[in-house]
Amino acid sequence: MQKEPRRNALVTVCDGFVEVETALQSLQAQGFGLANVSVVGRDLSSDREVVGIYQVGGACKYRGPLGAFWEGLWESLENCGVFWTPGSGWILIAGPFTKTFVASQNSSVFSGLTAIGSALYSLGIPLGEVLEYEAGLRGTQLLLIVHGAPTMVETARELLKPKFKQSV
C-alpha cells in the first residue's frame, strides 16, 4: 500500500439523522457554507419495504426509510448517489464526497480496502479510522464529512468539536 495521502478532511460520526441535522444546522448558524460537506449513510430498509431512487422534475427522490431526510440532504448538498456495496448493502451519499467515491472506484491505488474505505483513505483519513468508520456504517451510524482546504476543515472541527465525536 502507498504512503497515506495528506489529510484534508474531517469525519464526524453521527448516531442518527437527528445528529446529522443538528451538526448541519450548527455549521450553518456559524456562517459555515455547506459546499464541502457530505453525509454518508446506509439504507435501513427491511425485506418488506419498497426502496427506489427516481427522478421527478429534475430532483432525485428516494422511496425508503428516511426518504424525507435523504431528499432534503440531496436538495441542500451538491451531488448525490446511491450505491450497492459488498458487505454494507446500499450506501447513500449526499454532497461532494459522491465524486470522491466514484473516482476511487476507478483506481486500484488503495487495494484491499472496501469502496467506502478507499474513498475515505484518498481524503487522508488514517487506515485505522477508515476501518472504524466502515464498521459504523455497517450499523446505523452516519458520517458527516468536511473536506477541502486545511483552514476550512479546521474551522469545521472547531465548530463541531464540543458536540460530536470526530476524527483526529
Establish if 18 belongs to a structural domain. yes
The sign of the torsion formed by the CA atoms of 11, 16, 22, 24 equals positive
H-assigned helices in 46-96: 67-76
39 or 57: whose pLDDT is higher? 39
Establish if 70 belongs to a structural domain. no
Establish if 67 belongs to a structural domain. no
Establish if 121 belongs to a structural domain. yes
Establish if 56 belongs to a structural domain. no
119 or 90: whose pLDDT is higher? 119
pTM score of the predicted model: 0.86
> How much is the pLDDT for 111?
62
Establish if 49 belongs to a structural domain. no
Establish if 13 belongs to a structural domain. yes
| Helical packing angle, 97-104 and 115-122, nearest 10° | 110
Q: How many domains does the chain have?
A: 1
The parent domain of residue 136 ranges over: 9-43+78-166
Establish if 63 belongs to a structural domain. no
- Reduced to 3 states (helix: H, G, I; strand: E, B; else coil), residue 87 is coil
What is the mean pLDDT of the segment spanning 10-32? Answer: 92
Nearest to 8, CA basis, from 94, 132, 125 = 125
